[in-house]
Amino acid sequence: DTIVHLAAATDVRLSIENPNIHFENNVVGTYNLLECARQREVKNFVFASSSSVLGEASPPNHEGMITKPISPYGSSKLCGEAYCSAYNHAYGLKTVSLRFSNVYGPNSDGKTSVVAKFIEKIMNGKSIEIYGTGEQTRDFIHVDDICQAIHLAIINKDVGGEMFQIATQTELPILVLADMMNDLSEKYLNRCINKSHTEPIRGEIMRNYSIIEKAENLLGFKPNHKRFYNGLEETFRWFVERNKNEETNK
C-alpha cells in the first residue's frame, strides 16, 4: 500500500567532491522507486526530502520560497520532489515530500549528521570538528516527530503532490550544541570534550530553521519534542548504554 522512501546519500561535502554518488542514489534511485510504485499500483509514496532544496535562503524556511540549492545533495533532493510531483499529476500516485530538518534521536548510530557525529567522537575520546565559526544554525527535530509526520502523510488522503517543512521552528547555533554536548559529557562520562575549528565547507547553509504552518494545517502535525536539551540527553544516554553493552559483550 505504501512506500516510505528514506534511503539516500546525505553527505553535503561528499556530494561536492563526487556529485555522481548523489545523482545515482538520490535521483535515479528515487525515479526507480516511483516507477516500481506506478507499475505495482502502490497507493502512497512518502519521500524524505530536505530543507537543503532552498539553499542559502533567509529563514525561516517555508514552502512558498524559491528553491535554489547550493550543493549537489540539495539538487538531488529537489529532483526527487519534482519527480514525486510529476508522478502524482501524471499517474495519480499519492506522493508527499517531507522536507526534514536535522534529525536526531536514539538508534542514530548509523547517521552522519552533526548530533550523531559529535556523540560518536566524544565516546571515542576524539575532538569534535566545528566547521568555520560554529555560528551556523540548525533546526533539530526528534526522530519520534519524524515518524509522526510520516504517519500523517500516509493517512491523510488530500495531500497528494504536496511538500511540507517538517521542523520545530527553533534555531540553534552549532556552538550552543557543542556546549550542550560538553555538559552531557561531564555528566555521563566525567570528562570535558575537546573541540577544534576547521575551514568552512562549500555548500553548507549558514542559517536553517523552518516554520510549519502548512504541516500543522493540512497534516495536523505538531512536534512533541520541543525541548531540545531533553531529547539530546536521551540520545546521549542511548549512545552511552550502547557502548556499555558492547564492552560487556566483548
Residues taking part in catalysis? 73
Angle formed at CA 21 by CA 20 and CA 23, multiple of 5 degrees? 60
Single-letter amino acid code for the residue at 189: L
Query: In the Cβ-directed half-sphere of 25, how many Cα atoms lie within 13 Å?
Result: 16
Give the residues across from 140 on adjacent strands: 102
Cβ atoms of 166 and 225 closer than 8 Å: no
Residue 2 Cα distances to 31, 37, 85, 127, angstroms: 16, 9, 16, 42
Phi, psi for residue 44 in degrees, rounded to 5: -125, 140
